[in-house]
């Protein structure tokens, strides 16, 4: 089995705990920079799991996908975020609409919910429960972040966490879709981020603030 | 090879137009490209009619249903380009907001929508659907005013979240297919999925879960009620040709995607589950949008809510399913897009000449702007589903199907909401069209491009109301055959 | 495509009215083109009459079938019932068109006149389509087109805020009514699988009772809204008076009858009668509409509103006949049911004749004196003799006096009530004879109202300078009115000619019904009555010798001023005093300045007589919907976080729905 | 054979009408301890008026002169329906009571128009009050007759009379009593007798029928007076025929006829005495109490109709 085999076995079974950790920390993060850092950590964990699966299932395509994830989500996106926060010179505070304690409670509830959901579908897909639960809780927390954070950048981050969750769920259950489709999806995510960046610049130009909850002119 | 043409032209065209600095040249180039594009689409539609399906590699395929929607895209994009050529004469020369950027983005937008209709692979379909959001987000925020930026941001974020759920739905369906023994390459291909559907249906829960995510995901793009909030802002703030494209074509493409999934899932786990969901969303959208029409103050937001209501009607048609229901739904998709584009064109004219879109500020335009108010009247009468126009036919078909299946709850709501919407439109249009015009609005006549665009739309509404052309009827029935 | 002998003229009728005339008028504005259009409309109406008369005798079968062209089956069939109503539409159209030619020339500018004529011919076409359609799709298309075109005709006249509000109410109610009518057709679909009248008629027997009741109630509400039954009559006194007179003549005289046609087609032809309570519902509606309609009419001093309310009253009388017929059908007395139905259909035809004549008279008055307010008219009989005489004949007919056509149908309705006593069913035996009292009261009040209308408008001295200088209307207008007046007299004196075909028509609708004996006895005696009355009158006229002018006696005062005459408000005061509870007029007396009540600078008194249905019945319902809409509007808060929350909630609720469904 | 009898009956009815008014006037005078004019005065009055010239207001139209003619024609026509001595009338078997009532309505309609055409306040006042009274009187009039028609299960007047002839005198049913009361009250209102309208008055504020004919003179006035006399006689004959026709003969034998005529005169005399007693004893009702008077009449006639259901069983 070799050292690598044991390592991949370990990664797949136990790394989901790091994902739960990153989610909880994201919930309590006060500043954008820490949130971005947590996001890149999270993506690194996912890259590890991708490569582990690739090794176990002997699928060349999944390796490429793993490298892609690493390149984009661990390196490129955090750097873009830091560039953005520097250029926009806005207050670095996350400005959540729920207090940290409430956020933690909600995130824990999310994790419990994902376990309940996965349990009913889990055996149909004979995949390690906690890994799939991590993926689903990533999705739910991403959604919660988007709803609770007032900052435009934090909403983008919430979206990325959501996409991470979906990507992980896809990977665990189906060992990745045909390569062309995966690449297409990544390309779309990148373009989406680019556009959100453009719009963030526009918002900060026209509104002098990045508080999304103040964008309320269009009503009724 | 022919299938590559309709995709290549807009992409290359977009690049080409970018390098025409002079707005007039850009407009003429855009019109030329538009004509080429319509020609290519026409060729594809004719080939599909002759050979019933065209396959190009693993990702592009055109069958009866896609050719019906392609024809819709061709017709409406033609109208929009003609109208836009006149509309853009009063657009400034900002860094990003100049005619060449406008046309480039429009053609990108057309490229994504055409490829949605031509995609054979569900993953490819998702990618291109996400592409439509990205292409149109910039177009919605084109004017760079406060409202446009806010609308653009909301449109981008809400639709991307929706599309993400659709991706998860696609993955779950892919999982179910792979579990049922299909090879990974074929598991996303629509035709093989349709053939293997009964096998996939053995484990119904995954398929149902997939359809729930898909209908919430693509439903956000269609504008079903709980997920509709982005639609009124986007359509009201976008420039008029774009809101016409959004309302008339983009919503139909999203509905096209929902139809594709509905076909697979109803073949896998039986039509009961998907059709009930479609009916629920259809009725809820129709009721809520119909009521909201009563209290709107902005003309374009009124049109946006009317689009949500008509998407609800199409969903009800699909949800009912029978031969007449499907016929009504598809016909309604086409009729609605024509009527809605006519309404948006006239709304654009009103905004330009009266200066505001707030309906209490618009007064007695039937005297100051006779042709535009005539177009607005024709559009209004059509959108409310009155006899001489074509929407009456499709609503008549959907109602017949609903009564044949004795779904009285749906029918009662359907008829009540039709009357409420008629009341809302009559109230708003009476106030705008009649009464004394305020002084400073000078009389205006239509310029030729607007004349052609509105004229063609109005005439086709009347013509389709009296008699459905033979060829169009054939296309319609081929599209229905695909879904049966 | 065109089957049977009458296919060709019918197609000519449709083509001319539908395509040729509107296109001609839109194309050019020349005077000659407009005259050609009018001639074409007259020719088409005449062809329509021919088709109706020939259609009566032939076996029913599709006359014109356009189904291959239209998306849904679209064909026409002139069976006996359609033939009667087609005759009604076309025979009224001829005099109205003759009247309208000079009327529109006088009232409208060049461009409006062409549009009015185009809509006029489309209006006729839509009514012809409604009465002769033989598929659901054609009927509904004609039905909605009729409303749209009539609203268009009203709006061409002017766009004041009050007129817009009335047309808005008119369109809203008609659309709701059309929705109910559409539902009636569609309810048959599960059983007839097609909307063709033949299939619906066949399916009528196998429809379960629950659906039958639903169809009947929807038909009653849908067609009742168009006919103007009391709770649904809100639009009628608002829409008819503001339309140009020839159009309101067509609307009041003919359009209301298409609703009666629809109701008869559904309750007798498709459903073939039902339980007895159907009849009582219709009877009650007829009685209420009749009584309240005539009482509101008495309170009016605007001639056209008065006539509009009288349409409500006459529709009430028609529904009384229909209700009685339904009761007889339920009590298995086909002969009596036939009598009641003949009474109702004859009154429909009579009402079309004299109501359109009355509105044409009002149009003549308004074109001669530019006002239809009774308070400013007077003494028009000596200035406009032909209009006056025609209006007098119409007044006598609508009141139902012998020698005029109104009496024949009211007499038949009375006799069908009386025949009700012979029934074995206890309830009908009491209710129907008592209905005689109700109809008699309606007739009496109608007499009072039309004495006021004709007396104040045409007799006595002119109350305003316009009335003073009124001059007779041109020849075509007079000939139009004379034609209708002659028709009223003809049916009044020789009803036999009309009752026999009606009896055969009704035998088709009600199986097992013979020719009621009453129709024969009235046909025999009316000529004799005419002879005696006219003979005695002529004998009495012999005594009249020289005539000498002498000023009216004014109790010795120097001379009577026109203000000493009874005006319409004063004339109706006793009756309004007696029925005060029904009117509940809200009076407002305002004294200025308010703080010194005893030294008022000015006192203004204003009383609105008719009870406001809009405030009592419709306003709360509309406010409910608008408040619901406002509450929904608050859902669109503008905050993106809330929008995302909506999506997640939708997703979670669907997943929960999926979870529990398993 | 009986055609001539019927025509004679009609002529008797029309020509005898002024006599009836004369007798009533005479009886009232005697009751009020006055001598009173001779019973033939109405005839003299008619001949006087017929010889005079017709005064017409200059502003009135042709309807002013047409009204009396139509009134007289219509009222004379009603005379053809009522049998006096012979069980069948000229139009008795064809026409029914609806026709009779509405012929009276035709006459009233034209009289009201004539009144309005005069152009004076009194004409308008008379017409407006006549409109109120007659519109409220029609319902009980018809309901009363309908009650009789139902109990006789025949619609034409001759048929009802023939049916009543066949009944025994003494088993008077409650329907007949109620119907007689309501028809008597309606007759008072229709002919403009005391409780509703004072025929002899010239006090403007109280008169209804007189108000309408204030403008008329000469032959027009004669025709109007004659027509109202005919209406009074027709109502009288109708009450007699419908409620106690016994004594009428069906065959045209000399003895029978004289007996019938005598009996008819006796019955008429009884009713005339009753009428003049009412006219002398009762004061005129205030204008807005007349609707209650007629309301009572309609309630009574409606009750009669309802009772027909039980009587026949």
* pLDDT at residue A123, as a whole number: 63
Say yes or no: C15 contacts chain B, CB-CB below 8 A.
no
| Boundary (domain end) residue, out of B104, B120, B136 | B120
Smallest Cα–Cα separation from C100: which of C24, C30, C153, C46?
A: C153
| Nearest-angstrom CA–CA distance, B156 and B150 | 10
| Boundary (domain end) residue, out of C159, C187, C207 | C207
User: Distance (Å) from the C-alpha of residue C625 to the closest C-alpha of chain B?
Assistant: 8
Residues B253 and B356 placed together within one structural domain of the fold: no
Tell me whether residues B154 and C628 touch, CB distance under 8 A. Answer: no
pLDDT in tens, A127-175: 677 888 899 899 999 999 999 988 888 899 999 999 999 999 888 888 7
C468 domain-assigned: yes
Could you tell me the residue ranges of all domains in chain A? Answer: 3-214
| Nearest-angstrom CA–CA distance, D5 and C651 | 97
Residues B408 and B279 placed together within one structural domain of the fold: yes
| Nearest-angstrom CA–CA distance, C660 and C656 | 6
Residues B299 and B429 placed together within one structural domain of the fold: yes
C509 domain-assigned: yes
Q: Is it the case that chain C and chain B have 3 or more CB pairs lying under 8 Å apart?
A: yes
* Burial category of C474 from C-beta neighbours within 10 Å (exposed 0-12, middle 13-18, buried 19 and up): middle
Residues C572 and C644 placed together within one structural domain of the fold: no
Question: Residue A82: CA atoms inside 13 Å, Cβ hemisphere, count?
Answer: 10
Smallest Cα–Cα separation from C269: which of C86, C60, C38, C448?
A: C60
* pLDDT at residue C563, as a whole number: 80
Question: pLDDT: is C107 or C180 the higher one?
Answer: C180
Asked whether the beta carbons of D159 and C605 are under 8 A apart, the reply is no
**DSSP code at position D33:** T
Tell me whether residues C176 and B419 touch, CB distance under 8 A. Answer: yes
Average pLDDT over residues D75-90: 86
Nearest-CA residue of chain A relative to C656? Answer: A117
Residues C326 and C189 placed together within one structural domain of the fold: no
How many helices (H) does chain D have, and how many strands (E)?
11, 1
Tell me whether residues B220 and C145 touch, CB distance under 8 A. Answer: no
Instruction: Please identify among residues 425-484 of chain B the ones whose CB lies closer than 8 Å to any CB of chain C.
Output: 426-427, 430, 434-435, 466-468
Nearest-CA residue of chain A relative to B305? Answer: A220
Q: How many domains does chain B have?
A: 3
Q: How many domains does chain C have?
A: 3
Residues B294 and B334 placed together within one structural domain of the fold: yes
Alpha helices (H) in A89-174, listed in sequence order: 100-125, 129-148, 152-174
Chain C residue numbers touching D206 (CB-CB < 8 A): none
**Lowest-confidence segment of B114-128, C123-137, D114-128 by average pLDDT:** D114-128
* pLDDT at residue A59, as a whole number: 81
Tell me whether residues C640 and A117 touch, CB distance under 8 A. Answer: no
Residues C179 and C286 placed together within one structural domain of the fold: no
Exposure string over C200-225, b if 16+ CB within 10 A, otherwise e: bbebbeebeeebbbbbbebbbbbbbb
Residues B110 and B158 placed together within one structural domain of the fold: no
For chain B, list the contacting chains (3+ Cβ pairs, <8 Å). A, C
**Residue C213 falls in which region: left (phi positive, over 0), alpha (psi -120 to 50) or beta:** alpha
The C-alpha R_g of chain D, in whole angstroms, comes to 19
The pLDDT confidence band at residue B340, using thresholds 50, 70 and 90, is very high
Residues C502 and C431 placed together within one structural domain of the fold: yes
Q: What is the mean pLDDT of chain D?
A: 88
Residues B264 and B281 placed together within one structural domain of the fold: no
| Nearest-angstrom CA–CA distance, C580 and B463 | 56
Residues C325 and C203 placed together within one structural domain of the fold: no
Smallest Cα–Cα separation from A36: which of A25, A45, A47, A46?
A: A25
Chain A residue numbers touching C645 (CB-CB < 8 A): 147
**Lowest-confidence segment of B177-186, C146-155, D197-206 by average pLDDT:** D197-206
Tell me whether residues B168 and A139 touch, CB distance under 8 A. Answer: yes
Residues B421 and B298 placed together within one structural domain of the fold: yes
C249 domain-assigned: no
The pLDDT confidence band at residue C4, using thresholds 50, 70 and 90, is low
User: Distance (Å) from the C-alpha of residue D174 to the closest C-alpha of chain C?
Assistant: 17
Residues C433 and C309 placed together within one structural domain of the fold: yes
| Nearest-angstrom CA–CA distance, C15 and C128 | 12
Name the phi and psi angles at C604, rounded to 5.
Answer: -120, 140
Average pLDDT over residues C479-493: 94
Q: How far apart are the first and last CA of chain C?
A: 57
Could you tell me the two tokens for C525? 């005696």
Say yes or no: B153 contacts chain A, CB-CB below 8 A.
yes
Residues C202 and C285 placed together within one structural domain of the fold: no
Whether residue C140 has pLDDT greater than 80: yes
C259 domain-assigned: no
Nearest-CA residue of chain B relative to A162? Answer: B164
Which residues constitute the domain of residue B369? Answer: 271-484
Residues B8 and B47 placed together within one structural domain of the fold: yes
Q: Out of D54, D73, D103, name the one closest to residue C547 (CB).
A: D54
Substitution target from A144, A177, A180 for chain B, most B beta carbons within 10 A: A177
Tell me whether residues A121 and B206 touch, CB distance under 8 A. Answer: yes
* pLDDT at residue D18, as a whole number: 93
Residues B384 and B479 placed together within one structural domain of the fold: yes
* pLDDT at residue C61, as a whole number: 74
C69 domain-assigned: yes
Smallest Cα–Cα separation from C325: which of C509, C492, C56?
A: C509
* pLDDT at residue D313, as a whole number: 47
| Nearest-angstrom CA–CA distance, C564 and C578 | 24
The pLDDT confidence band at residue B280, using thresholds 50, 70 and 90, is very high
pLDDT in tens, C516-570: 888 888 888 899 999 999 999 898 888 776 778 887 777 777 777 888 888 888 8
| Boundary (domain end) residue, out of C192, C207, C222 | C207
Which residues constitute the domain of residue C646? Answer: 612-630+638-661
C-alpha to C-alpha distances, B178 to A142, B61, B165, B173, C20, nearest whole angstrom: 27, 22, 20, 9, 65
* pLDDT at residue A1, as a whole number: 59
User: Distance (Å) from the C-alpha of residue D224 to the closest C-alpha of chain C?
Assistant: 10
Smallest Cα–Cα separation from B270: which of B198, B189, B195?
A: B198
Name the phi and psi angles at B75, rounded to 5.
Answer: -60, -50
* pLDDT at residue B94, as a whole number: 60
Other Cβ atoms less than 10 A from the Cβ of C5: the count is: 12
For chain C, list the contacting chains (3+ Cβ pairs, <8 Å). A, B, D
| Boundary (domain end) residue, out of C160, C175, C207 | C207
Q: Give ipTM to 2 decimals.
A: 0.88
Name the phi and psi angles at C444, rounded to 5.
Answer: -60, -50
**Lowest-confidence segment of A34-43, B373-382, C159-168, D136-145 by average pLDDT:** C159-168
Full DSSP string of B340-372: HHHHHHHHHHHHHHHS--BTTT---HHHHSHHH
The C-alpha R_g of chain C, in whole angstroms, comes to 27
Beta strands C602-608 and C586-592 are: antiparallel
Note if the bond before C593 is cis, omega within 30 degrees: yes
Average pLDDT over residues C144-163: 88
| Boundary (domain end) residue, out of B62, B96, B120 | B120
Average pLDDT over residues D4-18: 89
Residues B292 and B425 placed together within one structural domain of the fold: yes
Q: Out of D96, D139, D219, name the one closest to residue C440 (CB).
A: D139
Say yes or no: A59 contacts chain B, CB-CB below 8 A.
no
| Boundary (domain end) residue, out of B120, B143, B172 | B120
Average pLDDT over residues B171-175: 90
Chain C residue numbers touching B396 (CB-CB < 8 A): 72, 137, 140
pLDDT in tens, B113-154: 999 999 999 999 999 999 999 999 999 988 878 889 999 999
Question: Which three-class secondary structure state does DSSP give residue C462?
Answer: coil
Whether residue A126 has pLDDT greater than 70: no
Cα B132 off chain centre by? 12
Chain C residue numbers touching A155 (CB-CB < 8 A): 640
Q: What is the mean pLDDT of chain B?
A: 90
Residues B324 and B419 placed together within one structural domain of the fold: yes
Average pLDDT over residues C368-375: 90
Instruction: Please identify among residues 193-252 of chain B the ones whose CB lies closer than 8 Å to any CB of chain A.
Output: 203, 205-206, 209, 232-233, 236-237
Chain C positions with Cβ closer than 8 Å to A: 633, 636-641, 644-645, 648, 655, 659
Substitution target from C18, C19, C71, C159 for chain B, most B beta carbons within 10 A: C71
The percent of residues above 70 in pLDDT, for chain C, comes to: 98
How many helices (H) does chain A have, and how many strands (E)?
9, 0
User: Distance (Å) from the C-alpha of residue A63 to the closest C-alpha of chain C?
Assistant: 33
Residues C572 and C619 placed together within one structural domain of the fold: no
Average pLDDT over residues C110-114: 82
Q: Out of A121, A169, A192, name the one closest to residue B134 (CB).
A: A192
Element (H, E) at C108: none
Task: Give the number of beta-carbon pairs within 8 Å between C and D.
Answer: 265
Chain B residue numbers touching A162 (CB-CB < 8 A): 161, 164
Residues C155 and C278 placed together within one structural domain of the fold: no
Tell me whether residues B158 and C640 touch, CB distance under 8 A. Answer: yes
Residues B116 and B134 placed together within one structural domain of the fold: no
């Amino acid at each position: 089995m070799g050292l690598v085999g044991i390592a991949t076995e370990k990664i797949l079974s136990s790394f989901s705990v790091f994902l739960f950790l990153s989610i909880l920390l994201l919930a309590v993060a006060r500043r954008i920079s820490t949130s971005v850092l947590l996001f890149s950590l999270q993506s690194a964990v996912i890259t590890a799991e991708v490569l582990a699966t690739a090794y176990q299932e002997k699928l060349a395509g999944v390796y490429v996908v793993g490298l892609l994830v690493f390149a984009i989500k661990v390196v490129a996106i955090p750097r873009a975020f830091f560039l953005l926060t520097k250029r926009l010179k806005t207050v670095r505070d996350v400005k959540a609409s729920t207090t940290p304690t409430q956020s933690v409670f909600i995130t824990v509830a999310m994790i419990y919910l994902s376990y309940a959901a996965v349990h009913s579908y889990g055996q149909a897909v004979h995949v390690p429960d906690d890994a799939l639960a991590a993926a689903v809780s990533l999705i739910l927390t991403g959604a919660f972040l988007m709803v609770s954070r007032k900052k435009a950048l934090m909403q983008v981050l919430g979206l990325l966490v959501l996409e991470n969750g979906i990507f992980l769920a896809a990977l665990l259950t189906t060992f990745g879709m045909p390569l062309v489709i995966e690449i297409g999806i990544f390309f779309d995510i990148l373009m989406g981020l680019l556009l959100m960046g453009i719009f963030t610049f526009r918002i900060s130009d026209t509104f002098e603030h990045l508080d999304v909850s103040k964008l309320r002119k269009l009503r009724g | 090879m022919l299938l590559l043409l309709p995709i290549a032209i807009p992409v290359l065209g977009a690049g080409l137009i970018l390098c025409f600095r002079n707005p007039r040249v850009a407009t003429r180039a855009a019109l030329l490209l538009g004509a080429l594009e319509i020609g290519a689409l026409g060729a594809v539609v004719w080939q599909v009619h002759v050979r019933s399906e065209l396959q190009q590699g693993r990702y592009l395929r055109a069958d009866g249903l896609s050719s019906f929607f392609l024809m819709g895209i061709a017709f409406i994009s033609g109208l929009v380009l003609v109208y836009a050529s006149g509309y853009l004469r009063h657009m400034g020369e900002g860094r990003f907001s100049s005619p060449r950027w406008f046309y480039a983005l429009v053609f990108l937008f057309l490229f994504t929508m055409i490829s949605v209709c031509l995609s054979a692979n569900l993953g490819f379909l998702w990618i291109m659907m996400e592409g439509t959001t990205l292409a149109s987000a910039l177009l919605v925020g084109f004017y760079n005013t406060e409202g446009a930026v806010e609308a653009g941001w909301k449109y981008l974020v809400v639709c991307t979240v929706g599309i993400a759920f659709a991706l998860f739905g696609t993955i779950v369906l892919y999982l179910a297919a792979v579990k049922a023994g299909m090879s990974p390459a074929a598991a996303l291909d629509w035709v093989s999925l349709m053939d293997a559907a009964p096998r996939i249906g053995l484990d119904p829960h995954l398929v149902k879960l997939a359809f729930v995510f898909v209908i919430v995901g693509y439903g956000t793009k269609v504008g079903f009620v709980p997920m509709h909030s982005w639609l009124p802002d986007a359509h009201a703030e976008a420039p008029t040709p774009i809101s016409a494209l959004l309302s008339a074509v983009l919503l139909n493409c999203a509905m096209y995607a929902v139809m594709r999934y509905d076909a697979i899932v109803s073949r896998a786990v039986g039509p009961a589950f998907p059709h009930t969901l479609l009916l629920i969303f259809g009725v809820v959208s129709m009721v809520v949008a119909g009521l909201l029409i009563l209290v709107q103050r902005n003309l374009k937001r009124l049109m946006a809510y009317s689009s949500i209501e008509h998407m609800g009607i199409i969903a009800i048609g699909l949800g009912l399913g029978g031969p007449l229901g499907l016929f009504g739904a598809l016909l309604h998709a086409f009729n609605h897009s024509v009527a809605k584009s006519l309404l948006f064109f006239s709304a654009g004219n009103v905004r330009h000449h009266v200066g505001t879109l707030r309906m209490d500020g618009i007064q007695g335009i039937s005297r100051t702007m006779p042709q535009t108010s005539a177009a607005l009247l024709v559009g209004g009468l059509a959108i409310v589903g009155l006899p001489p126009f074509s929407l009456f036919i499709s609503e008549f078909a959907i109602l017949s199907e609903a009564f044949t299946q004795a779904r009285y709850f749906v029918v009662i709501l359907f008829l009540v909401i039709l009357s409420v919407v008629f009341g809302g439109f009559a109230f708003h249009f009476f106030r705008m069209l009649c009464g004394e015009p305020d002084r400073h609005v000078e009389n205006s006549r239509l310029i030729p491009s607007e004349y052609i665009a509105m004229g063609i739309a109005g005439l086709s509404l009347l013509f389709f109301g009296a008699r459905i052309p033979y060829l169009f009827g054939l296309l319609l029935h081929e599209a229905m055959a695909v879904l049966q | 495509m065109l089957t049977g002998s009458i296919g060709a003229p019918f197609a000519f009728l449709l083509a001319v009215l539908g395509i040729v005339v509107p296109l001609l008028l839109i194309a050019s504005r020349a005077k000659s083109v407009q005259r050609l259009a009018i001639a074409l409309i007259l020719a088409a109406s005449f062809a329509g009459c021919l088709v109706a008369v020939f259609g009566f005798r032939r076996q029913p079968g599709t006359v014109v079938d356009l189904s291959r062209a239209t998306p849904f089956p679209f064909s026409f069939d002139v069976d006996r019932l359609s033939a009667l109503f087609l005759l009604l539409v076309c025979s009224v159209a001829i005099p109205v068109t003759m009247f309208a030619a000079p009327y529109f020339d006088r009232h409208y500018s060049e461009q409006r006149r062409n549009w009015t004529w185009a809509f006029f011919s489309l209006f006729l076409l839509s009514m012809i389509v409604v009465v002769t359609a033989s598929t659901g799709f054609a009927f509904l298309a004609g039905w909605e087109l009729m409303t749209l075109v009539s609203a268009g005709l009203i709006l061409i006249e002017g766009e004041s805020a009050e007129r817009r509000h009335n047309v808005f109410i008119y369109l809203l109610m008609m659309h709701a009514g059309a929705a109910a009518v559409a539902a009636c057709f569609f309810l048959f679909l599960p059983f007839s699988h097609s909307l063709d009248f033949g299939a619906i008629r066949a399916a009528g027997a196998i429809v379960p009772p629950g659906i039958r009741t639903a169809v009947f109630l929807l038909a009653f509400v849908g067609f009742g809204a168009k006919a103007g039954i009391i709770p649904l009559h809100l639009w009628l006194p608002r829409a008819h008076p503001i339309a140009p007179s020839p159009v309101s003549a067509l609307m009041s005289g003919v359009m209301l009858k298409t609703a009666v046609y629809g109701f008869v087609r559904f309750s007798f032809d498709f459903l073939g009668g039902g339980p007895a309570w159907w009849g009582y519902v219709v009877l009650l509606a007829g009685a209420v509409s009749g009584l309240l309609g005539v009482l509101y009419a008495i309170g009016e001093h605007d001639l056209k509103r008065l006539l509009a309310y009288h349409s409500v009253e006459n529709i009430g009388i028609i529904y009384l006949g229909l209700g009685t017929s339904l009761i007889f059908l339920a009590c298995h007395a086909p002969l009596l049911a036939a009598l009641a139905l003949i009474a109702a259909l004859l009154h429909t035809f009579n009402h079309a004749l004299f109501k359109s004549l009355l509105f044409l008279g009002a149009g003549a008055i308004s074109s001669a004196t530019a006002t239809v307010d009774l308070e400013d008219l007077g003494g028009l009989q000596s200035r406009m003799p032909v209009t006056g005489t025609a209006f007098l004949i119409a007044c006598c007919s609508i009141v139902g006096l012998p020698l005029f056509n109104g009496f024949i149908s009211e007499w038949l309705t009375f006799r069908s009530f009386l025949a009700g006593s012979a029934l074995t069913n206890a309830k009908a035996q009491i209710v129907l004879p008592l209905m005689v009292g109700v109809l008699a009261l309606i007739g009496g009040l109608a007499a009072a109202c039309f004495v006021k209308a004709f007396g104040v408008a045409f007799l006595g001295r002119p109350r305003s300078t316009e009335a003073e200088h009124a001059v007779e209307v041109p020849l075509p207008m007079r000939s139009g009115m004379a034609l209708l007046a002659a028709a009223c007299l003809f049916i009044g004196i020789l009803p036999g000619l009309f009752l026999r075909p009606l009896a055969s028509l009704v035998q088709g609708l009600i199986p097992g019904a013979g020719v009621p004996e009453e129709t024969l006895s009235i046909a025999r005696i009316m000529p004799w009555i005419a002879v005696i009355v006219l003979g005695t009158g002529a004998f009495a006229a012999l005594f009249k010798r020289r005539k000498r002018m002498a000023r009216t006696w004014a109790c010795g005062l120097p001379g009577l001023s026109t203000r000493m005459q009874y005006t319409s408000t004063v004339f109706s005061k006793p009756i309004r005093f007696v029925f005060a509870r029904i009117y509940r007029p809200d009076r407002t007396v305002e004294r200025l300045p308010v703080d010194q009540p005893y030294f008022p600078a000015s006192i203004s008194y204003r009383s609105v007589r008719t009870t406001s249905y809009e405030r009592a019945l419709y306003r709360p319902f509309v406010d409910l919907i608008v408040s619901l809409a406002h509450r929904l509007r608050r859902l669109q808060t503008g905050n993106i976080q809330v929008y995302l929350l909506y999506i997640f909630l939708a997703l979670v609720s669907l997943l929960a729905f999926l979870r529990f469904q398993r | 054979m009986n055609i001539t009898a019927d025509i004679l009956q009609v002529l008797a009815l029309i020509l005898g009408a002024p006599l009836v008014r004369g007798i009533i006037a005479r009886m009232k005078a005697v009751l009020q301890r006055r001598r009173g004019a001779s019973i033939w005065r109405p005839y003299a009055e008619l001949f006087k008026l017929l010889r005079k010239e017709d005064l017409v207001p200059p502003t009135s139209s042709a309807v002013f002169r047409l009204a009396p003619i139509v009134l007289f024609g219509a009222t004379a026509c009603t005379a053809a329906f009522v049998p006096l001595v012979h069980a069948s009338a000229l139009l008795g078997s064809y026409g029914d009571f609806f026709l009779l009532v509405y012929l009276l309505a035709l006459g009233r309609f034209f009289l009201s128009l004539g009144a309005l055409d005069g152009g004076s306040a009194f004409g308008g006042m008379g017409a407006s009050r006549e409109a109120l009274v007659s519109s409220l009187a029609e319902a009980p009039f018809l309901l009363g007759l309908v009650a009789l028609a139902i109990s006789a299960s025949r619609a034409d007047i001759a048929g009802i009379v023939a049916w009543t002839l066949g009944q025994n005198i003494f088993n008077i049913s409650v329907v007949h009593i109620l119907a007689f009361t309501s028809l008597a009250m309606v007759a008072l209102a229709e002919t403009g007798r005391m409780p509703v309208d004072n025929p002899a008055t010239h006090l403007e504020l109280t008169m209804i029928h007189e108000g309408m004919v204030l403008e008329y003179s000469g032959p027009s006035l004669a025709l109007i007076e004659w027509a109202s006399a005919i209406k009074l006689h027709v109502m009288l004959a109708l009450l007699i025929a419908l409620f106690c026709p016994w004594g009428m003969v069906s065959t045209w034998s000399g003895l029978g006829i004289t007996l019938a005529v005598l009996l008819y005169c006796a019955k008429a005399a009884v009713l005339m005495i009753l009428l003049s007693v009412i006219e002398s004893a009762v004061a005129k009702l205030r204008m807005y109490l007349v609707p209650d008077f007629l309301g009572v009449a309609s309630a009574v006639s409606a009750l009669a109709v309802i009772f027909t259901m039980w009587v026949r069983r």
